[in-house]
Amino acid sequence: MNEYDDMNVVGGREPEKTPMPLISMILGISSIVIGCCCAWIGIALGIAAVVMAVICKNKGVEYNKNFITIGLITGIIGIVLHIIWLILGLFLNIGNIFLDLM
């Protein structure tokens, strides 16, 4: 056994290899892209990305830390972007709602 045999071992155990960081990143990016068509779906995907990234950070997943960070950031951007999108859409279309009621 040489000094390089234990390079991937963290705390005496192998790092947990879970697909959650990758899924978090995919959901975060999808929240921005798909949310342009439907803001509600974008918000839901953004929330799912943030939740999965936080779970990965709390579990101490050492595998694909960059994916966790990207998922967290893009999820937050997707949530904020589409909430603003919904608010602007509501205020820009409020005149049409009143005209339809008459």
For the record, the structure tokens of 23 come out as 């899924």
CA atoms in the 13 A half-sphere facing the CB of 27: 25
Report pTM.
0.74
Q: State the pLDDT at residue 8.
A: 55
How far is the C-alpha of 84 from the C-alpha of 36, rounded, in Å? 12
pLDDT digits (tens, 9 = 90+) for 32-67: 999 888 888 999 999 999 999 999 999 888 888 899
